[in-house]
Amino acid sequence: MATYYDIFGQKVQYLSSDPSDVQTGQVWYNSTSNTAKVQGLGTASWASGGNMPYSGYTNAGAGTLTAGLSWGGSFPVTSTTAEYNGSTWTTGGAYPAAIANHGGTGSQTAALSVTGMNPGAQPARSDAFEYDGTSWGSPTSVGRQGFGMKVLGTQTSAVATGGGSFPGPTYNTNDTELYDGSSWTAGNPFSTIRSFHSTGGVNQTSGIIVGGRSAPGTETAINAVEEYDGTSWTAGTVYPTVVKECNGWGATNDFIQAGGSVPLATDACAIYDGSTWTSTASMPAARTLNATSMGTYNTQSGMTFGGSTGGATNTTIEFTGPGPVTKTITTS
């Protein structure tokens, strides 16, 4: 950050109106209002949204803040699909079977659901389904079971990560599966085995995974972060604390981690810029095993819904990031 001595003697822009294309940190003088102004950052916050038509944790989510999607979850295990319009949830086309512990990505009208399990109907599933905004289509084979698998990308350019078989012997893996909208192929594995972790990413060429359960047959939380470039995984900056049963949204260089267990449920959230984690507004209550939808592939808006806040919940909370705000400079 520039010091006083760095900027001493430099001129401040003298403008008749506030500029339209303003950058964070920019300073100018508005001659019409006779005020000096600076572009800064606002304060991040959470607010209550509409309640889902069902309560459930380990549900999956997709879509955006104004066109969100939730399906499945437990307990009891359900096949319910629900759609969000920014204020109200309504019931959509039912999933082909009651499902929980599955992964999801995509949009409200083009979602992808991957593997999972109905605890009352073991073993874990090895199939995936697409949603078109009305109904779920025919299954495709992922090629392996995926209890606690997490997914990033879109319906036609997805990366499925981790998870494992249930019952064992491989509860957690470091496997990567790639989906192009019609078939699945194996990708390069990542370093740290995990399940029930967070994921983010635009498509198969850019992704991030955070935390999760690790160690075969255990629920040990980890803080390892790995980033994907479409071919291989590399280590990212570790999360500030171990966390599992978590979720988030965003891109590799603009990602928010929201809640999870450490090992108890937490309300803590942090934003990742590709190299550094920074704490941001905490959720109103600790929440774990939750699902998320985003505003865009960044941390400026999104929501989390369902999950557990001491028991299965149907509540939705919406996030507004620390976006740009124009401030008037005063001498007080």
Q: What is the pTM of this model?
A: 0.88
Q: Tell me, what's the pLDDT at 185?
A: 97
Residue count of the chain = 332
Instruction: Please give the full DSSP string across 50-84, using - where no structure is assigned.
Output: PPPSS--BS-EEEEBSSSEEEE--BTTTB--EEEE
Q: What is the pLDDT of residues 137-157, one digit of tens each?
A: 999 999 999 999 999 999 999
- What is the DSSP-derived secondary structure letter of residue 147? B
Query: Whole-angstrom Cα distance, residue 159 to residue 164?
Result: 15
Statement: residue 174 has pLDDT above 80: yes
* Residue type for position 187: G
Q: Please give the average per-residue pLDDT across 290-294, as a whole number.
A: 85
Q: Estimate the share of the chain in helix, then strand, then coil, as percent rounded to the nearest 5.
A: 0, 45, 55
Query: Whole-angstrom Cα distance, residue 293 to residue 326?
Result: 28
Q: Tell me, what's the pLDDT at 91?
A: 98
Statement: residue 324 has pLDDT above 90: no
45-320: which CATH topology?
A: Neuraminidase (2.120.10)
pLDDT band at 120 (very low <50, low <70, confident <90, very high): confident
* Residue type for position 296: T
Domain locations in the chain as residue ranges: 4-41, 45-320
Neighbours of 146 (CB within 10 A): 32
Torsion over CA of 83, 268, 213 and 154, rounded to 10 degrees? Answer: 40
